[in-house]
Amino acid sequence: MINDYYTLSSQTALSDTEFLFEVRLNASCAIYEGHFPGQPVAPGACQVQIIKECAERALQRPVRLKQIKQCKFLRTIIPAETPSLDVHLLFSEPDILTAEVRSGETTYVKLKSEI
């Protein structure tokens, strides 16, 4: 989905197990034409896919979300109003990914998954 639905603005390794990505949503992407016409919002599946793709970049290998233990969509992401998002990833043992999608002080998504 990268470069069509969103672009990666930056990637920072905060430690060996913690990473921060800045992504920019493409409000003109065709996905928004059907989700939803007149009031485009970021689909939840696309938000999870962004997290997965950022995890793959952080680990430099393919990642499979084996079991999502928790996924909370706390606020609706409207790309025209919030085009830039921070994706914070934390990897812990055994093979657990904890992620948050934020913009400023607002948290949009919290996810915890076995990978």
Q: What is the band of 2 on the pLDDT scale with cuts at 50, 70, 90?
A: low
Q: Does the predicted model carry a pTM greater than 0.85?
A: yes
Q: How far apart are CA 1 and CA 43, in angstroms?
A: 13
- By DSSP bridging, strand 18-25 and strand 67-73 are unpaired
Express each pLDDT in 75-113 by its tens digit: 999 999 999 999 999 999 889 999 999 999 999 999 999
Give the dihedral sign, CA 49/51/57/62.
negative
Express each pLDDT in 31-76 by its tens digit: 988 888 788 999 999 999 999 999 999 999 999 999 999 999 999 9
Does pLDDT of 3 surpass 80? Answer: no
Place of tokens 């069509």: 4
